Structure 1
Amino acid sequence: MTHLRSKRLPGVGPGAGRTLAAVVGLVAALGLGAIGEAKAAPAASDTTTSAARWTDRPHGFASVAGGTTGGAGGRIVTVTDQASLVKYAAAEEPYIIRVSGSIDVEPFGSNIVVGSDKTIVGVGDTGEIVHGELHLNPGTSNVIIRNLTIRDSYVEGDWDGKTTDFDAIQMDTVDHVWIDHNRFTHMGDGLLDIRKDSQYVTVSYNQFTNHNKAFGIGWTTNAKTQITIDHNWFTGTKQRNPSADNCAYAHLYNNYFTDQVHDGDPVWTYGSWARGRTKMVLENSYYDGVQHPYQADATAELVERGSILRNTTGRHDEWGDAFDPRDFYGYRLDPATAVPALVTQFSGPQARIGDSVTLHVPGDYPTVQAAVDAVPSGNASTVTIAVAPGTYRAKVHVPSNKPNIVLQGTGQDRSDTVIVYDTPAEYGGSTGSATVRIDANDVTARNLTFSNDFDEAAHELRGEQALAMKTNGDRIVFENTAFLGNQDTLMTNSPRLTTVSRVYIRDSYIEGDVDFIYGRATTVIERSVIRALNRGSTTNNGWITAASTWTGNPYGFLITRSEIVSDAPDGSFHLGRPWHPGGELEAVAQVLIRETELPAAIKSSPWTDMSGFSWKDARFTEYQNYGPGAAVTADRPQMSDEDAGSHTVADYLKGTDGWMPYARH
């Protein structure tokens, strides 16, 4: 595949900004700003450079100096046992490793070594590593660990962690690591240890719970580590929240500290500590019931602004200039008053993160097909292939063993991202012709254009069919998509005549001339524009549909609440004809066009015979169409109100599994 033009846009999780904005609004509406006393909070930084929430891309220091991509570009694997996790985590090549369910590590407290170029992410919100540690050896680079619970390697009686070193995650002399949306609890020594000159690290939206020494950074004489720590919840911990020893730059913002363990220790019960020569900036956080909420050695620098202190005691040191985080990256601050609500709800593992993996084209993968190839066979969870704006000239095949894929154009408009090729059906039939072929079930495409730009005029062939899209799978959805071609633009099919596959097309655009919407799948086209192209004839410019519905299937094609447009001469276009592939007698077209605007180009007798099969033996009907091409005549069967009540979008799509893709709108 050749990528002719592209521009990268930041990935934004669907609806994330709206969800969090709503929470912030709710907090404000409830008057929670009256809790505690806060200093004047700084203004949020420019949103054009700030990292968006709920993306699959790191922010903060993990995003600079080349960034952190984890296992991007590698295959996706799902692991359910320790042996598989150990194998893939330590492999030399990149992997996206999905942890499904709970993995009990043996022997108790053992390390699982994580090599470079890895993403480890929990499936749903129940991925767990129990009784074991993820360990990054010196020299490890480019690692993402997300959406996991790591728990319970605590040895009874070892509250100080002096006899075991069973951390949740430990790393020495590593670079570019993102630790995000995890839950760490009840481990043997530290929950998270980032040690010995590790660099370019971001720790975000995690929960540190039920522990003595939560989060340590340093163990070095060099002031080298650059780290961002945001939106974490420290609850039921005593110390190291975090302890930052000799960090070149430590940026803490929007963290929540509550329910601190108090055992009478006057020194080693504390919140955040800038130690050695650390330069720390601490912003808009919320400390509730914390002893020594933030403190700094005389050799360190600590700048604090905008935080709320509630029922706190002891040290709250501020001296020196530290640094300006915006010299390194953009970010957005939440109000400190909103932190408890935001962090308690959105920290820790989230089903919305673990239910989907996003693969970026280009960048992570050079082509759309390369990203499809990375999806595991029998894929059970959603994988989103985010395709950047550009024109991609190559074919794409989603095989039947790779379900649950979302093809998502990331441009502002569907025309920004185009997948196109130019093969006619003469070279390989409909399968060989299709620019994109979807054989898998449960595939969705959004905000994309699919095109076959085969030039009919430049070739003399026996057939001019040239497909932009062919589907065989069930439960296929197209939203805000365009299909461009001439003859046979869009084929919605099924693996065999008696197998019913369903396709739902909404808010889309389809163009062509001869039989350009055809096949045997149950297909709903709703709220879309269908353009019947002008081939230059004054009498016959083509057919919109050529359905081949199985006689045992009452639902073929439904075009509803849409608009058919054409600049062809008046009365020169047909609504459709019955296609019986290979003379198959049990392929009897069913087409209903209802509540749709028809242009003057539609013939007064719009249904015609095909290959010796009469249109009158097919199941062609209209219902409440309008526009200059609409009419009620003997040659235009109309569906009754009673029958129309059982030929709705829901009736066509529900099948035996109650599929309702339209309910998302």
Structure 2
Amino acid sequence: MTRTRVAFGAAAVALALAAFGCAAPRDDCPSVTPRVGAQRPQLDAAQARAYSRERVLGAAGRAGDLQRDGWDPLADTVITGERLPAFQYRVDPAWADGRTVFATVQAAVNRAHTDIGAGAQRAPRIYIGIAPGRYRELVFVPTGPVPITLWGLGRLPHEVTIEEDLDAGVGAADYRRRFARVYEAPGVHPEVAAFYRECIREDAASRSCMNVMWVRNDGFQLRHLAVANVPGQTRQRHQQAVAFRSEGADRVHLEQVQLHGLQDTLYLRTPTPDSTVRSFVHRSLIEGDVDFIYGAGTAYFLRSEIRFVGPRRGQTHGWVAAPSTHLRIPYGFVFEDCDFSADGNALPGRVALARQWFTGAGCSPYGSQATACTLLGAGQSASGPGQVRRASIEAVGKMVVLRSRIGAHIDTAQPWAPWQTDPAHRAYRPAQFDGDDFWTRLASAGLDPAALGYARATPAQPWLAEFGNRDSSALSCPSGRP
């Protein structure tokens, strides 16, 4: 991994891995080789081989006890193929019968889980086909013994759109007014009903319920449709509004999907801060303007378009991703053969590829703030300002971009941003490019990493890095992807 201040060798990674197939630079988008420097570390070829899809997605679980199962999402030729599967249920308001055809996506999901629980549905996977149309609803897919696939039946993905206008400004009373008709109706799955009851508790909606699609189903698949959460006052409000949230679900596969939003479009949440679950995003489009791909999960994005839209009123900068990968989880977000593009409103050089989410930080030991910052012991919870949890320190965030096209909206001199730009901010944390940065910054803050139980790996593991990318001189190079 090449940096001005330090060099890393191949020993940092496992060597006996299959090589990547090289993606040729796009002919329709003028590009150049990236400038390399201390703020833009590059992997060498041997290191890059450690970020193969098979390696990244091959294991999940708790830090220190990852379970390897060799998951390969591309081995499922149904979800990646061109032939339609046999659908056990369909969504089509014009032909709804309440048994196998339903007016809403949530009703079909409810019935599938009811039938599974009653033993009336024994298929190893449930396929739900969704007719073209705009479905103004929320969709919650609960846990269960059988994985579910939602499959849009339009000619193009956007012809089947599940959408809502829902951000963190929505209170519990408004949430109930808008969604009681669906979630207080008879026949709602108990886990779905429990999620709804949590969201109508006072102030709960603004904390965690601003999701259009919320998935807890291991093995869940989404194919050939769009999910959108774009609050109505898009140029005035700056609040969280999630289109798709994976809540501790493992082996999630998004295929030919469009996710539309602004802030926090795609949320990949793990069961615990020190664990990981896996997601695979293939031939898809994700758009937003602030931290619009975020969370602690491990995810592989292949041949997809990552589009910045904006800026909104009063916004001068943007951030694509905000990983919060745990210190001892080897992989966070990996992008291969992707297009980092922008719409016509983007400002050149004002967007970062990522900033590492300093989750739950009540103060920062890294900044220049005058007040003291106390690091709490393991298991302790912060009770006020001036305290930071171990979980916050250990949410280091990891992201690697391979053989992709980087649009002119990205700051190519410094594509990795700090969490908060002002060193005096209570949650400031500079970009940490590798394990050495983690160690030296803690030591500089007066915290002994060894005394805290951290081991210093030699050589250091890369946390933020690139390999084989091309910088575009254009803001937007449409990928032509589905």
User: TM-score, normalised to structure 1's length?
Assistant: 0.39
- Match for residue 626 of structure 1 among 451, 470, 482: 470
- Match for residue 415 of structure 1 among 145, 158, 161: 158
Q: 1:423 to 1:539 in 2, by over 3 A?
A: closer
Distance 1:537 1:468 in 2: 21
- Match for residue 410 of structure 2 among 593, 596, 602: 602
What is aligned with 1:581?
Answer: 359
Does the CA-based 8 Å contact 1:537-1:572 persist in structure 2?
no
Secondary structure of 2:209's counterpart equals: helix
Offset of 1:552 from its aligned partner?
1.8
Q: 1:403 to 1:536 in 2, by over 3 A?
A: same
What is aligned with 2:320?
Answer: 544
Distance 2:123 2:315 in 1: 51
Q: 1:537 to 1:455 in 2, by over 3 A?
A: closer
Offset of 1:359 from its aligned partner?
0.3
Q: Which structure 2 residues correspond to residues 158-557 of structure 1 after superposition, within 5 A?
A: 358-362=88-92, 363=96, 364-376=101-113, 381-401=124-144, 403-427=146-170, 428-429=205-206, 431-457=208-234, 463-472=238-247, 473-535=249-311, 540-557=316-333
Distance 2:353 2:212 in 1: 25
Q: Which runs of 5+ in 2 are unaligned?
A: 1-84, 171-204, 362-391, 420-426, 435-462, 475-482
Secondary structure of 2:208's counterpart equals: helix
Q: Which runs of 5+ in 1 are unaligned?
A: 1-354, 631-665
Q: 1:389 to 1:624 in 2, by over 3 A?
A: same
Offset of 1:527 from its aligned partner?
0.2
Offset of 1:617 from its aligned partner?
5.4
Q: Which structure 2 residues correspond to residues 57-136 of structure 1 after superposition, within 5 A?
A: none
- Match for residue 432 of structure 2 among 610, 616, 624: 616
Distance 2:295 2:473 in 1: 25
Matched, 1:590 2:398: yes
Distance 1:597 1:458 in 2: 28
Offset of 1:570 from its aligned partner?
1.5
Q: Which amino acid aligns with 2:338?
A: S
Does the CA-based 8 Å contact 2:433-2:465 persist in structure 1?
no
Q: 1:441 to 1:629 in 2, by over 3 A?
A: farther
Secondary structure of 1:515's counterpart equals: strand
Give the greater-gyration-radius structure (CA): 1
Offset of 1:616 from its aligned partner?
2.2
Q: After superposition, what is the alpha-carbon deviation per residue over 1:328-352, rounded to whole angstroms, capped at 9, x for unaligned?
A: xxxxxxxxxxxxxxxxxxxxxxxxx
Distance 1:458 1:628 in 2: 27
Distance 1:431 1:517 in 2: 16
Offset of 1:499 from its aligned partner?
2.7
What is aligned with 1:18?
Answer: none
Distance 1:388 1:467 in 2: 23
Distance 1:539 1:570 in 2: 14
Distance 1:521 1:387 in 2: 28
Distance 1:389 1:430 in 2: 32
What is aligned with 2:347?
Answer: 569
Distance 2:146 2:358 in 1: 29
Q: 1:535 to 1:451 in 2, by over 3 A?
A: same
Tell me the number of residue pairs that the alignment of Structure 1 and Structure 2 aligns.
Answer: 274
Determine which structure has the larger strand proportion and give its number. 1
- Structure number with greater CO (CA < 8 Å, separation at least 6) is 2
Q: After superposition, what is the alpha-carbon deviation per residue over 1:97-146, rounded to whole angstroms, capped at 9, x for unaligned?
A: xxxxxxxxxxxxxxxxxxxxxxxxxxxxxxxxxxxxxxxxxxxxxxxxxx
Q: 1:534 to 1:459 in 2, by over 3 A?
A: closer
Q: 1:519 to 1:551 in 2, by over 3 A?
A: same
Offset of 1:455 from its aligned partner?
2.2
Identity in percent: 30
Q: After superposition, what is the alpha-carbon deviation per residue over 1:587-621, rounded to whole angstroms, capped at 9, x for unaligned?
A: 11010011000111111211111132221256211
Determine which structure has the larger helix proportion and give its number. 2
Secondary structure of 1:375's counterpart equals: helix
Secondary structure of 1:468's counterpart equals: strand
Offset of 1:366 from its aligned partner?
1.6
Does the CA-based 8 Å contact 1:504-1:524 persist in structure 2?
yes
Distance 1:357 1:414 in 2: 18
Offset of 1:539 from its aligned partner?
8.7
Q: Which amino acid aligns with 1:374?
A: R
Offset of 1:358 from its aligned partner?
1.8
Q: Which amino acid aligns with 2:153?
A: T
Does the CA-based 8 Å contact 2:149-2:222 persist in structure 1?
yes
Q: 1:593 to 1:617 in 2, by over 3 A?
A: closer
Q: After superposition, what is the alpha-carbon deviation per residue over 1:18-48, rounded to whole angstroms, capped at 9, x for unaligned?
A: xxxxxxxxxxxxxxxxxxxxxxxxxxxxxxx
Distance 2:255 2:410 in 1: 26
Q: Which amino acid aligns with 1:494?
A: T
Q: Which amino acid aligns with 1:437?
A: W
Q: 1:550 to 1:515 in 2, by over 3 A?
A: same
Distance 2:326 2:394 in 1: 6
Distance 1:496 1:629 in 2: 41
Matched, 1:558 2:288: no
Distance 2:135 2:111 in 1: 18
Secondary structure of 2:88's counterpart equals: strand
Distance 2:349 2:314 in 1: 8
Q: 1:403 to 1:599 in 2, by over 3 A?
A: same
Does the CA-based 8 Å contact 2:287-2:309 persist in structure 1?
yes
Does the CA-based 8 Å contact 1:380-1:404 persist in structure 2?
no
Does the CA-based 8 Å contact 1:533-1:541 persist in structure 2?
no
Offset of 1:459 from its aligned partner?
6.0
Distance 2:329 2:144 in 1: 25
Q: Which amino acid aligns with 2:88?
A: T
Offset of 1:390 from its aligned partner?
0.1
Distance 1:408 1:457 in 2: 29
Secondary structure of 1:530's counterpart equals: strand
Does the CA-based 8 Å contact 2:275-2:329 persist in structure 1?
no
Distance 1:456 1:502 in 2: 33
Does the CA-based 8 Å contact 1:436-1:450 persist in structure 2?
yes
Distance 2:415 2:471 in 1: 14
Distance 2:161 2:274 in 1: 33
Distance 2:315 2:168 in 1: 26
Distance 2:161 2:87 in 1: 22
Distance 1:402 1:572 in 2: 45
Q: Which structure 2 residues correspond to residues 27-46 of structure 1 after superposition, within 5 A?
A: none
Q: Which structure 2 residues correspond to residues 149-164 of structure 1 after superposition, within 5 A?
A: none
CA-based RMSD of the aligned residues comes to 2.3
